[in-house]
Each structure stands twice: as C-alpha cells, then as structure tokens.
Amino acid sequence: MVVPQLPRRDAGIGGFLEGFCVPLIEAMWFEVPVFAFKSSAIPETLGEAAVMFTSKDDLANVAATAHLLVQRGKLRRAVIKAQQQRRLHFLPEKVVHLLDRLTEELVGP
C-alpha cells in the first residue's frame, strides 16, 4: 500500500478494535476533533484533549454531544487546540526512551 492512500483508506474505519489508540493519535495530527468512549487506554492517550462519553446506553445523548462537537465551532476549535498540545507527547523523541526501556525489561539489554 502506498503511504498517501492510508488516510483515505482509514477514513471509513472505526477504531473499536484498535488496542493502542493509534487512530486517536492520528486524528490529533490531522486536526480531527476526537469524540470517544472513555475506556481502556483512551483517557490516558487523550488526556483532556477530547470529548469523551462514559455510557453507551443513552445513544440519543451520545449523538447530541457529537452533533454539538460538529456544529459548535468554539467547542471544536477548543478540542483541536488541546489536541495540538497533547499530540506532542507522542513525538518519536518523546517516546523512544520509553520503548527502549520496555524492550530492555522484556528481552534484556
């Protein structure tokens, strides 16, 4: 697959099965405001840089919140601004030492 095809290919794919929150980080880089279910590693990944919901039982409320995120420019801009800061935590130079340490713990130096 050619790299420029990736954003187009992934545009219609949900992130329900993504275990490491990569689509959320990609969304932050592409300045797509994130609206996600608050579970597993999602809150740790997003910090305060997203709108999250905690219950899937009230889908009308979930839909109304998503609608607000799309329609209210001020809210959308605030989320994107927070994401612009949060995404910096995932730059290679910020995580490479963590990956090195984890690798050493798992397989040794």
| 76-88 pLDDT per residue, tens | 999 999 999 999 9
56 belongs to a structural domain: yes
Rounded to the nearest 5°, which phi and psi values hold at 37?
-75, 130
Residue 19: what pLDDT? Answer: 57
* Residue 97: inside a domain: yes
**pLDDT bucket at 20, cuts 50 / 70 / 90:** confident
- The reported pTM is 0.74
- Average pLDDT over the chain, rounded to whole? 87
- Does 54 reside within a domain? yes
Q: Is residue 31 assigned to a domain?
A: yes
Token readout for 6 is 């990736």
Checking phi first, is residue 31 left (phi over 0); if not, alpha (psi -120 to 50) or beta?
left
Q: Is the residue at 50 inside a domain?
A: yes
Range of the domain at 86: 21-107
The domain total for the chain is: 1
